[in-house]
Structure 1
Amino acid sequence: MVKNALAAQLLKAGLVDNKKAKKLSKQAQHEQRTGQSNEADLKAKIAQDQQEKQARDQALDLEKKKALHEKELKAAIVQMINQHKIRETDGDSTYQFIDEDKIKKVYINQQIYNALVSGSLVIAKDKESYSFLPKALADRINEKMQGFIIVNNSEKNEAVTDEEDPYAAYVIPDDLMW
């Protein structure tokens, strides 16, 4: 029979055998008689474990807060897009643009087409469709979070041309109709 309650619990759980339990109980008795104990070491280890757990909990909490903030920001941007999008856009003109390495085509009226080409309107991703927004709103959205504005013709990307390119002097207009 094991005299130490801890050893009995370890035996019951199957973590140690009888030989190991006797050794633990003898060691505990020896520490009681001599006054030597590892209480200071145990307390230090417990305090260190608590600090590590607290640091992990704080890191997890910070990640959750960041995820929640990002989710709230996305919801606010989607709400801004829905409130300010131009609704009457159907027409006969086609406008093609690239979204996620795919060429997309939208049918719009000539007024919207001209505004897109000039840069006063932009195309934004609206869930599964596309919305047309004023340039000022697009700038505010880009300040908050990137990735919603797909086409912004007001930002002219100056491509570096090769000096030997014979067609460098010929600029292709954005509103070229095929």
Structure 2
Amino acid sequence: MSLQDQLMKAGLVSKHDAKKANKDKHRARKAGKSVVNEAKAEAAQKRAEQAERDRQLNAERKAEAEKKALQAQIRQLITVNAQPRDKGDLAYNFSDQGSITKIYVTPALQQGLINGQLAIAKLGQEYFLIAAAVAEKVAQRDASAIVLLNDKASDQPDEDDPYADYQIPDDLMW
């Protein structure tokens, strides 16, 4: 026998009051469940938002790591394959981002640059001479690292070139 039944027998509570108390108790329990459900939903939403932020942060970190790895590959390709300039005495002029720059090379290196067998790459503020094949690999990773890569020279002039009869002297420097 419940406390409510005992109070009704004793005449302290009417049947109407007992029903009202049961309804209030039921409403309070139901309201408590909705508060608990709202709290659960809010916690789940916060977890989802945190997971999304973590995913974005991980993606940014991964992209940064890939960028650093790519830069390391470029640096390694250039430094390992750099041709020694052997304190050349010929000035070779080229354009770097709109300004004319000069490096000193040997006659053999100058001919390699002119023929497109060698290229000029830039790391930081320093210029390196590298083979054309290596320059193409570097350009695939970052085209801005290659400052100069001439097309391979063809020995035969074009058929419809109006200046085919006028050869450029070998000692012409600008």
Partner residue, 1:15 = none
Residues 1:34 and 2:28 are matched in the alignment:
yes
1:14-163 mapped onto 2 (5 Å cutoff)? 34-35=28-29, 36-37=31-32, 38-154=35-151
Partner residue, 2:156 = none
Deviations 1:12-69 (CA, angstroms, capped at 9, x unpaired): xxxxxxxxxxxxxxxxxx9997220322122112111111111111111111111112
Q: Does the aligned pair in 2 maintain the 1:121–1:134 contact within 8 Å?
A: yes
Higher relative contact order (CA 8 A, sep 6+): 2
Partner residue, 2:173 = 177
| 1:77 CA drift (Å) | 1.7
Distance 1:120 1:31 in 2: 91
Q: Does the aligned pair in 2 maintain the 1:124–1:130 contact within 8 Å?
A: yes
Q: Does the aligned pair in 2 maintain the 1:118–1:154 contact within 8 Å?
A: yes
Partner residue, 1:25 = none
Deviations 1:63-117 (CA, angstroms, capped at 9, x unpaired): 1111112112211221221111001342222111122322211111111111111
Q: Per the alignment, in what secondary structure is the counterpart of residue 88 of structure 2? A: coil
4+ runs of 1 displaced by more than 3 Å? 30-33, 168-171
Distance 1:82 1:128 in 2: 14
Q: Per the alignment, in what secondary structure is the counterpart of residue 47 of structure 1? A: helix
Distance 1:33 1:142, change over 3 A: same
The number of residues matched between the two structures is 137
Flag the structure with larger Rg. 2
Distance 2:46 2:163 in 1: 69
Which amino acid in 2 is paired with 1:101?
G
Unpaired runs of 5+ residues, structure 2, are 1-23, 154-160
Structure with more of its chain in helix, by fraction: 2
TM-score by length of 1: 0.66
Distance 1:46 1:169, change over 3 A: farther
